[in-house]
């Protein structure tokens, strides 16, 4: 079934500090461009490589974050281990082996609270390559309905290249100072989900949006919902139609 998932702000952001087992350019893990990657240096099969993330507030102080979704984009990991720091030791929260895809959308069994995450790559899809990751997002679910929806969000890598385009008069986006904008329309939204969305527009809080197409994740968008919220309510069903304006943060 098609579904739209909206998550809160990714706690892996410009305030996050990184520690890697090897390689440089860990800042590329949060630059909103999955084509630019952190890559290990001289690794091979049998050599584990890791990245540790420490979540900080705007003052640079370590901060506890609640997370139930981890998104890893453009990786060549074949075997992966994700751990959280419990204050005295690393505790496993997710493992996967024999991975054959580049983008990992990981729903944790339950939400976790932590100040640090550690992602370890234990093997690569092509043997003896250096390990790499293009982007990491660590979020908490906000809105995961299966409502009907329509958007101007692109599912083409063209967007990553920064081009302005229209495809079949349907998918459109524009760039302004290298920022994209789009419209998202939702139908049959419940009262509870409507209140969640309205709360997000009041603060222009950053969100992560993942359109799913028949169970397959499409692009991943880190953006803000811009005021005002345009909506109507059907009296008979009590459900809402909602139009959202999105802008890249």
Tens of pLDDT, residue by residue over 224-247, are 888 778 999 999 999 999 988 888
Q: Phi/psi of residue 186, each to 5°?
A: -125, 140
Decide if 224 contacts 204 (C-beta within 8 A).
Answer: yes
pLDDT tens digits, one per residue of 171-198: 444 443 355 677 888 888 889 888 888 8
**Which pLDDT value is given to residue 64?**
96
Rounded to whole angstroms, how far apart are CA atoms 243 and 230?
5
pLDDT band for 151, please (50, 70, 90 cuts): low
DSSP string, 143-208: E-----EEE----STHHHHT--EEETTTEEEEEETTEEEEEEEEEEE-HHHHHHHHHHHHHT-EEE
Q: What is the pTM of this model?
A: 0.82
Domains of the chain: 10-140 (2.60.120.260), 149-248 (no CATH)
Q: Are 148 and 240 in contact (CB under 8 A)?
A: no
């Amino acid at each position: 079934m098609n579904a739209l998932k909206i998550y809160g702000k990714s706690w892996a952001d410009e305030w996050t500090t990184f520690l890697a087992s090897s390689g440089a350019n860990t800042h590329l893990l949060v630059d909103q461009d999955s084509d630019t990657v952190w890559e290990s240096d001289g690794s091979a099969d049998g050599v584990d490589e890791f990245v540790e993330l420490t979540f900080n507030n705007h003052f640079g102080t370590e901060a506890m974050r609640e997370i139930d979704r981890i998104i890893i984009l453009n990786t060549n990991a074949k075997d992966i281990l994700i751990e959280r720091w419990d204050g005295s030791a690393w505790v496993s929260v997710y493992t996967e082996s024999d991975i054959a895809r580049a983008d990992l959308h990981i729903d944790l069994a339950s939400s976790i609270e932590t100040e640090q995450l550690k992602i370890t790559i234990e093997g690569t899809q092509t043997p003896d390559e250096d390990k790499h990751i293009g982007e990491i997002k660590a979020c908490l679910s906000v809105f995961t309905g299966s409502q009907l929806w329509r958007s101007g969000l692109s599912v083409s890598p063209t967007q990553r290249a920064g081009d302005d385009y229209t495809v079949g008069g349907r998918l459109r986006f524009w760039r302004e100072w290298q920022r994209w904008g789009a419209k998202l329309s939702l139908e049959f939204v419940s009262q509870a989900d409507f209140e969640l969305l309205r709360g997000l527009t009041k603060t222009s809080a950053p969100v992560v949006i993942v359109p799913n197409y028949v169970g397959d994740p499409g692009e991943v968008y880190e953006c803000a919902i811009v005021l005002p919220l345009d909506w109507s309510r059907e009296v008979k069903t009590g459900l809402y139609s909602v139009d959202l304006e999105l802008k890249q943060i």
